[in-house]
């Protein structure tokens, strides 16, 4: 029966846990030394790594959702354009996964930025992101806190630079070819190119970034 099957599996799982705990206790000194000196190992132990990560993410997301969103720059305004003047158009390209050590303009042995090098650009060589993943780095770079005063909860619960621009009367649009703006463009205009379109810049897997320049 189903009950008997569940009971047998529960007993088998319990025995496996006992064996694992017993083995860990028998070699505790070596195991503790390994975990202390090589912390990355703890993230490789399946399924414990998945279970611990799920609990951590749920806890952090729940904590960040508490309380009202902090308004940034409530008095932000923009000087009116003179009559007949052409409006300004600004494009910010966010490629937050690039590594400074592999950046051609920083002196990397292989020139990875030949087209940028041909332009009259200003290259900032001493820049560090708030984190090594998109979930951390993107919200931070558009927040008023920055890396020095980094606080995940404060950033999650505050408006971004884009919200300030919108309040000042500057229309914003976030075009994305990855996993979203991570809250930076919350409740603002957003277009995703994650799903391949019928376009020469797309195949059945994804679209190249150039598609975001269309229109």
- Is 155 in contact with 140 (CB distance < 8 Å)? yes
Structure tokens at 164: 């300030």
Residue 164's CB: how many other CB atoms inside 10 A? 18
b/e map of 16-26 (b: 16 or more CB within 10 Å)? Answer: eeeeeeeeeee
Instruction: Report the interhelical angle of 2-26 vs 28-37 (nearest 10°).
Output: 80
Least confident of 53-62, 121-130, 171-180: 53-62
What does pLDDT average to over the chain? Answer: 86
Query: What would the pLDDT profile of 117-165 be if each residue is shown by its tens digit?
Result: 999 899 999 888 898 888 899 999 999 998 888 998 899 999 999 999 9
Confidence of residue 88 (pLDDT cuts 50, 70, 90): confident
pLDDT at 64 over 80: no
Burial class (CB in 10 A: 0-12, 13-18, 19+), 82: exposed
- The DSSP output letter for 158 is B
pLDDT at 37 over 80: no
Element (H, E) at 139: helix 134-141
Percent of residues, the chain, with pLDDT higher than 70? 96
């Amino acid at each position: 029966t189903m009950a008997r099957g569940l009971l047998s599996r529960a007993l088998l799982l319990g025995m496996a846990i006992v064996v694992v705990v017993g083995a860990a206790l028998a070699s505790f000194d070596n195991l503790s030394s390994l975990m202390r000196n090589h912390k990355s190992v703890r993230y490789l132990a399946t399924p414990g790594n998945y279970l611990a990560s799920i609990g951590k993410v749920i806890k952090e997301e729940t904590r960040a959702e508490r309380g009202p969103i902090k308004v940034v720059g409530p008095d932000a305004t923009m000087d009116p354009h003179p009559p007949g003047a052409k409006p300004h158009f600004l494009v910010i390209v966010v490629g937050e996964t690039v590594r400074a050590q592999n950046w051609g303009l920083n002196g990397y042995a292989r020139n990875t930025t030949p087209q940028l090098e041909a332009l009259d650009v200003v290259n900032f060589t001493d820049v560090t992101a708030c984190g090594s993943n998109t979930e951390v780095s993107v919200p931070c770079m558009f927040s008023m806190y920055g890396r020095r005063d980094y606080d995940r909860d404060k950033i999650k619960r505050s408006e971004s630079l884009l919200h300030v621009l919108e309040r000042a009367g500057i229309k914003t649009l976030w075009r994305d070819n990855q996993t979203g703006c991570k809250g930076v463009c919350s409740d603002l205009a957003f277009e995703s190119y994650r799903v391949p379109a019928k376009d020469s810049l797309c195949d059945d897997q994804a679209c190249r970034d150039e598609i975001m320049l269309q229109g």
